[in-house]
Amino acid sequence: MTQSPHTPQDLKIEKRDLKFGRDMAPPRWWHSGDPGRTAFFNALSSTFPVGEKFFMTSVRHFREGTPQPLRGQIDDFLYQESMHTREHVVFNRQAEDVGYDIAPLEDRARRTIAWVKRRSPIQQLAATCALEHFTATLAHDALANPAHLAGATEEAKRLWQWHAMEEIEHKAVAFDTYLHATRDMMPLRRWLKRSVVMAVTTLRFHYVIFRNTADLLRQDGCNNWATWRALLGFLYKEPGTMRLLLGGVFTYMRPGFHPWELDDRPLLAKAMAMLETSEPKRTAA
């Protein structure tokens, strides 16, 4: 994969209107029949609807005055995030349908976003940049290494692969918006601001996700050392979902960083082909 210090000029952020999980409810432990892996991904999904609405608001605040092609990319970003919100609302309701109480998890995410909203618009945008880097890092790893989703039901796998593709496509929109909004700021101050916000965001992200995961495991009667030992091995050893995310934090904090330093668009074509191959055949009514 090639190195690029800026957003590629030929980048395409596609507007896709895809729906998932409408035909069949997933099993309670939809990821590998494993309560820990299922709880982690459900915990992550529970934060998406409120989180992605916040992303849209924080980026939209700075849309006016941005040059093309960034302004068009912001519009495409807003569309993709609205689709993600819709599909994860469905996904979260399916978790409720199999007996999970998702409301406390959503409330925890909502309280965290409310705390961020008390900061200045530029700090909110910096927090969006940090969280978008998290999702882009997770997306890259999910598409590059099938082990992250191996064992998941086919429809859940399709949902997460689609989400991952689009996170890669728009991974620099918030960051480029931040660079434009802070264009008159001293480079050191601009770097310090985004780095400090990333450090705080990393701590709060881990707190919310692991508290949410523990809540779900408690509902399953599995909030014990044996389950956590297996889950932590999955997250920090192999395939190492959270270990790789932490590595991405240090990459982000490097002066001069840009999300498109790593041009991982070749993953998108492969993922799209997998989505099309695995699309369920629907019969006419």
Tokens of residue 146, six digits: 């099938």
Phi-psi region of 99 (alpha: psi -120 to 50; beta: other; left: phi over 0): left
Q: How many whole angstroms separate alpha carbon 129 and alpha carbon 59?
A: 9
Q: Is the pLDDT of residue 141 over 80?
A: yes
Average pLDDT over residues 251-269: 94
**What pLDDT is stored for residue 274 in this prediction?**
77
Q: How many whole angstroms separate alpha carbon 245 and alpha carbon 193?
A: 20
Q: Is the pLDDT of residue 25 over 90?
A: no
Average pLDDT over residues 227-252: 97
| 3 three-class SS | strand
Contacts by 191-199, CB closer than 8 A, 24 or more apart: 191/255, 193/122, 193/123, 193/126, 194/126, 194/129, 194/130, 194/252, 195/252, 195/253, 197/123, 197/126, 197/127, 197/129, 197/130, 198/126, 198/129, 198/130, 198/133, 198/249, 198/252, 198/253, 199/253
Q: Is the pLDDT of residue 4 over 90?
A: no
CB 30 within 8 A of CB 38: yes
**What pLDDT is stored for residue 3 in this prediction?**
40
**What pLDDT is stored for residue 124 in this prediction?**
98
Tokens of residue 30, six digits: 């939809």
Indicate the pLDDT class of residue 284, thresholds 50, 70 and 90: very low
**What pLDDT is stored for residue 5 in this prediction?**
65
Q: Is residue 196 part of a domain?
A: yes
Indicate the pLDDT class of residue 270, thresholds 50, 70 and 90: confident
- Closest residue by Cα to residue 45 from 106, 104, 101, 3: 106
- What's this model's pTM, rounded to 2 decimal places? 0.94
Q: Is the pLDDT of residue 22 over 80?
A: yes
Indicate the pLDDT class of residue 275, thresholds 50, 70 and 90: confident
**What pLDDT is stored for residue 155 in this prediction?**
94
Residue with tokens 């960034």: 70
**Phi, psi (5° rounding) for residue 3?**
-100, 135
Length of the chain: 285
Q: Is residue 260 part of a domain?
A: yes
Indicate the pLDDT class of residue 282, thresholds 50, 70 and 90: very low
Average pLDDT over residues 170-197: 97
Reported as a single tens digit per residue, the pLDDT across 188-223 is 999 999 999 999 999 999 999 999 999 999 999 999
Which residue range forms the structural domain that includes residue 223?
A: 35-277
Among the residue ranges 17-31, 143-157, 245-259, the one predicted with the least confidence is: 17-31
Q: Is residue 17 part of a domain?
A: no
Q: Is the pLDDT of residue 250 over 70?
A: yes
Q: Is residue 8 part of a domain?
A: no
Q: Is residue 263 part of a domain?
A: yes
Domain total of the chain: 1
Q: Is residue 2 part of a domain?
A: no
Query: Mean pLDDT for the chain?
Result: 94
